[in-house]
């Protein structure tokens, strides 16, 4: 499939990097392959060995790396962060050529990288499978370019774009397998955000029901603090992080919620921009999943803040114009201002179809 041997090995780096998905955020997904005499002599990925970077994981394995070529999907770092510079170990192990996919957008970690390698007579080649490398780490690129979380929306809908009937009964539009699939999406995120109406209507758990688990932060936008004190989120808040953004003052209810493990973050500036800033900086949410409902999705759409969407379509038509749409913007939107997405992929899940699109923000990175 890849005629060029560099692309062939780079694809393997990308595949390896994926093993870190859901584990390494805020760091990027990185895989590394070392090749000597046309043979792979070592591999590594970030996340495999504590927090060591992919190159270090591969080069720490016993072997003679002198004269070998190192393939990695992201430019090797030259900084001391949680781990020492990858360029140091690349030089120490006498690698003669480094082929990397794309430059690291985190400038701080690569200021000396290319120079260090060149000074040590290591040949550099870059921009191999550039688009694929950016796409794999699209969240990391958006984080560094925009200083905000990467935001992806997910919803299940009928063929005519409805997520619930007009009484907001929405539980079983898509099939079991689709719902199971969406738990993998939750696993790839740091936080999952919903509006208060979704909590009141669906009483969701917003947890990950997979064999592997992680402490995904559950986030509710609830300006008037109208959450019910006996809902599933509150009942489980001691076990699973639960953050409520609110601007109301309800002393007794707040105390009760806090005693039950809920974090209440009061904001005067209740704009989406400020909520995202707090999530990114205070709560370290670098990848944010939006699970609705319509009002919340509408707000993010309006601000062109959906970097990616996953739409599960069930073979059902509501036919009722009053059923609830995936986005509920209560204003006229001129056809010239409809939000454009770019198709990324699809998956057939029994009789449902999953459609995956990237937004303009990600598409721009690829140009």
**109 touches, from ligand AOF, Zn ion, none (C-beta below 5 to 8 Å by class):** ligand AOF
**74 touches, from ligand AOF, Zn ion, none (C-beta below 5 to 8 Å by class):** ligand AOF
55 is catalytic: yes
Q: In sequence order, what are the beta bridge partners of 69? A: 35, 97
**78 touches, from ligand AOF, Zn ion, none (C-beta below 5 to 8 Å by class):** none
Distances in Å between the Cα of 67 and the Cα atoms of 41, 122, 362 are: 12, 10, 37
65 close to 34: Cβ distance less than 8 angstroms: yes
Tell the smallest beta-carbon distance from residue 84 to Zn ion (Å): 8
Question: The dihedral of CA 165, 170, 174, 178: what is its sign?
Answer: positive
Q: Residues 17-56: x/- map of binding to Zn ion (CB under 5 A)?
A: ------------------------------------x---
Q: What is the spatial distance between Cα 97 and Cα 120, in angstroms, rounded to a whole number?
A: 11
- List of residues 6+ apart from 224 with CB closer than 8 A: 196, 246, 247, 248
Binders of Zn ion among 53-82, rule CB under 5 A?
A: 53, 77
**162 touches, from ligand AOF, Zn ion, none (C-beta below 5 to 8 Å by class):** none
Candidates 86, 233, 297, 324: give the one binding Zn ion (CB under 5 A).
86
Residue closer to ligand AOF, measured from CB, 81 or 319: 81
Write out the residues near ligand AOF by the rule CB under 6 A: 27-28, 30, 46, 51, 53-55, 74, 76-77, 81-83, 86, 104, 106, 109
* Count of C-beta atoms within a 10 Å radius of residue 359: 23
Tell the smallest beta-carbon distance from residue 91 to ligand AOF (Å): 13
Tell the smallest beta-carbon distance from residue 291 to ligand AOF (Å): 27
What letter does residue 147 receive in the DSSP assignment?
Answer: S
Phi, psi of 350 (to 5 degrees): 55, -120
Tell the smallest beta-carbon distance from residue 28 to ligand AOF (Å): 5
Tell the smallest beta-carbon distance from residue 128 to ligand AOF (Å): 16
Q: What is the spatial distance between Cα 74 and Cα 65, in angstroms, rounded to a whole number?
A: 20
Q: In sequence order, what are the beta bridge partners of 265? A: 245
Q: What is the spatial distance between Cα 323 and Cα 231, in angstroms, rounded to a whole number?
A: 25
Catalytic (active-site) positions = 55
């Amino acid at each position: 499939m890849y005629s060029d041997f560099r692309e062939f090995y780079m694809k393997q780096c990308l595949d390896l990097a994926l093993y870190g998905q859901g584990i390494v955020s805020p760091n990027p997904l990185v895989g590394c392959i070392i090749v000597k005499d046309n043979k792979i002599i070592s591999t590594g990925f970030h996340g495999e060995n504590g927090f060591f970077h992919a190159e270090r994981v591969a080069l720490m394995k016993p072997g003679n790396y002198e004269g070998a070529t190192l393939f990695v999907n992201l430019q090797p770092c030259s900084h001391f962060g949680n781990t020492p510079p990858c360029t140091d170990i690349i030089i120490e192990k006498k690698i003669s050529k480094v082929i990397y996919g794309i430059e690291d957008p985190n400038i701080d970690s690569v200021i000396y990288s290319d120079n260090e390698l060149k000074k040590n007579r290591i040949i550099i080649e870059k921009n191999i499978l550039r688009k694929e490398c950016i796409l794999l780490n699209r969240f990391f690129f958006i984080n560094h370019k925009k200083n905000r979380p990467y935001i992806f929306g997910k919803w299940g809908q009928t063929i005519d774009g409805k997520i619930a009937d007009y009484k907001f009964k929405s539980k079983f539009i898509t099939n079991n397998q689709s719902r199971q699939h969406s738990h993998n999406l939750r696993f790839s995120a740091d936080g999952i955000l919903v509006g208060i109406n979704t909590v009141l209507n669906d009483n969701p758990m917003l947890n990950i029901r997979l064999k592997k688990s992680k402490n995904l932060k559950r986030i509710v936008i609830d300006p008037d603090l109208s959450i019910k004190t006996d809902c599933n989120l509150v009942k489980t808040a001691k076990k699973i992080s639960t953050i409520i953004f609110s601007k109301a003052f309800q002393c007794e209810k707040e105390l009760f919620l806090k005693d039950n493990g809920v974090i209440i973050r009061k904001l005067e500036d209740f704009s989406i921009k400020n909520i995202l800033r707090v999530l990114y900086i205070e709560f370290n949410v670098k990848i944010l999943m939006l699970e609705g409902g319509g009002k919340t999705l509408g707000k993010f759409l309006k601000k062109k803040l959906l970097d990616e969407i996953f739409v599960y379509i069930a073979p059902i038509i509501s036919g009722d114009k009053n059923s609830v749409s995936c986005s509920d913007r209560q204003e006229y939107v001129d056809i010239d201002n409809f939000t454009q997405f770019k198709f990324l992929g699809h998956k057939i899940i029994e009789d449902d179809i999953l459609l995956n699109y990237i937004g303009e923000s990600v598409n721009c990175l690829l140009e």
